[in-house]
Amino acid sequence: MHSDLIVIDGLQYSNWDRTIFEQLHQGGVTMVHATIVYHEQIRETLLRIAEWNRHFEQSSDLIMPVKSAADIRLAKQLGKVGIMFGAQNCSPIEDDIGMVEVMRELNLMIMQLTYNNQSLLACGCYEAEDSGVTRFGRQVIKEMNRVGMIVDMSHSAERSTLEAIEISERPIVISHANPNTFHMAKRNKSDRVLKALGASGGLLGFSLYPFHLKNGSDCTLNEFCEMVADTAELMGVDHIGIGTDLCQEQPHSVLEWMRNGRWSKDTDYGEGSKANADWPKPLAWFRDSRDFPNITNGLLARGFSPPEVTKIMGQNWLNLLDDGLKAT
């Protein structure tokens, strides 16, 4: 069954090379939302896009750029892996609302309003006080809706996330997180947020990053699928997908860049523990993208029907992108 599916990974930040593209292909992945920036500003973002253009040129037999939802279906038809650009922070627009449209014209399809910290747009999940979506943030959400860029609140705090759901005239996503009832982490989301997300037509991508899972790297496939089943009961099976948060073959310096950026001279340990100072050990059943069939098989074994598995593995993402990427 897996080979027939449109499989969408709602987020990866791997150290991209031909080997990883081959693994995506071998795992039957149709499209991956690839983080191209964390704290990079406009010029640095352009350099990241240029790097991807070289990837597209040098590995054109394996990958292709996604410039619309139709390209995802085309990737499936051609047997290639579609790459969709995303930003895990609002730094690519700096303080200029005009850059939202410019970045969308450069095929930046998804943008988080925050990355853990307070930004110009909203509050991150690591701040002590959640001030909500800012005046600038309200305008940016409106502009993202207009140009067809998806709002992502994966690293945002609760009030900010609830306000973004309410403000946005189009469904938003939490591309890579889990329910905090499954595992308490600052980045995981409350039932209140998940209910509001589902009711608004939005989507949650389940994270396979061990720090966001019960029992960490020892989380079993059965435990993961139980979490998916519980969340389907809460939100509805039409509003869930996969967003692995796979950071494959990245050096420790990249982890430091993700957490510290330029804002801190001190080491940020994420959840506040030195135990999280390094990359976690991979899950035994999801070492890299070649293991995507394990998720399909695990969901089927848990009792999800084939049509439900089709939705979770990619169709729900595709349905949201079909409308959300179109300019109004």
Beta strands in the chain (DSSP E): 8-12, 31-37, 63-65, 81-87, 108-112, 150-152, 173-177, 203-206, 240-242
Domains in the chain and their CATH numbers?
Answer: 2-324 (3.20.20.140)
280, pLDDT greater than 80: yes
* Per-residue pLDDT, 274: 61
User: Quick one: pLDDT at residue 275?
Assistant: 58
Instruction: Give the Å distances, CA to CA, from 237 to 60, 201, 204.
Output: 35, 11, 10
The partner residues of 84 in beta bridges, in order of sequence, read: 33
Query: How far lies 144's CA from each of 154, 219, 309, in Å?
Result: 16, 36, 30
Q: How far is CA 104 from the centre of its chain?
A: 17
pLDDT at 272 (0 to 100)? 53
What is the rounded average pLDDT of the residues 201-211? Answer: 97
Q: What is the mean pLDDT of residues 156-164?
A: 98
In the chain, how many H helices and how many E strands? 12, 9
pLDDT band at 279 (very low <50, low <70, confident <90, very high): confident
What six digits make up the tokens of 82? Answer: 């579609």
What is the amino acid identity at position 143? E
Mean pLDDT of the chain: 96
Q: Enumerate the β-bridge partners of residue 12.
A: 34, 246
SS3 for 30-71, per residue?
CEEEEEEECCCCHHHHHHHHHHHHHHHHHCCCCEEECCCHHH
* pLDDT grade for 270, boundaries at 50, 70 and 90: low
**pTM of the predicted model, to two decimals?**
0.96
